[in-house]
């Protein structure tokens, strides 16, 4: 088992359910059974949830590969904790404001930086092993 990746996968799964609950609550409040009902508020909620679903798997695969490849525990925890914070920022920012927001901006920037950093780390380690 990869305990560090498992920890962050579990935390992200819980965040995924929280964001799904926000979507369900919004749909119930507006009596929307499917989709967004052309309501911007619901679309934002759906996108916050979907955005996590789009980025978390890529991040977790990279984190797992880094963990299995022997990356330092502090590096894995730093990446994992920062990613969770980034996704909370993004979800909160996207759900609380139309357009730009602090949370949405920094959540996106941190997400991209972490994915690039892990990808580069793995690329360098894989080239060095060839």
What pLDDT, in 10s, does the model give residues 66-100?
Answer: 999 999 999 999 999 999 999 999 999 998 877 78
> What contacts 72, CB < 8 A, 6 or more positions away?
none
Write down the pLDDT at residue 41. Answer: 83
Helices (H), the chain: 3-30, 40-68, 73-96, 102-129
Write down the pLDDT at residue 36. Answer: 75
Write down the pLDDT at residue 58. Answer: 98
pLDDT interval class at 110 (50, 70, 90): very high
Q: Are 101 and 94 in contact (CB under 8 A)?
A: yes
pLDDT interval class at 120 (50, 70, 90): very high
Asked if the model's pLDDT at residue 122 lies above 90, the reply is: yes
Structure tokens at 127: 């080239």
What is the residue-averaged pLDDT of the chain?
A: 94
Please state the domain extents for the chain. Answer: 3-129
Overall size of the chain counted in residues: 130
d(CA 122, CA 101): 32
pTM of the model as a whole: 0.93
Write down the pLDDT at residue 97. Answer: 76
| Domain spanning 3-129: CATH 3.50.50.60 | no
């Amino acid at each position: 088992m990869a305990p560090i990746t498992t920890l962050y996968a579990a935390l992200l799964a819980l965040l995924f359910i929280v964001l799904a609950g926000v979507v369900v609550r919004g749909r119930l409040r507006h009596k929307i059974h499917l989709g967004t009902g052309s309501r911007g508020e619901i679309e934002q909620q759906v996108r916050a949830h979907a955005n996590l679903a789009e980025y978390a798997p890529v991040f977790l695969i990279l984190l797992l590969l880094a963990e299995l490849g022997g990356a330092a525990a502090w590096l894995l925890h730093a990446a994992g904790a920062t990613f969770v914070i980034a996704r909370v920022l993004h979800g909160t920012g996207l759900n609380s404001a139309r357009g730009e927001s602090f949370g949405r901006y920094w959540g996106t920037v941190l997400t991209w930086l972490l994915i690039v950093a892990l990808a580069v780390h793995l690329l360098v380690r894989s080239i060095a092993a060839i």
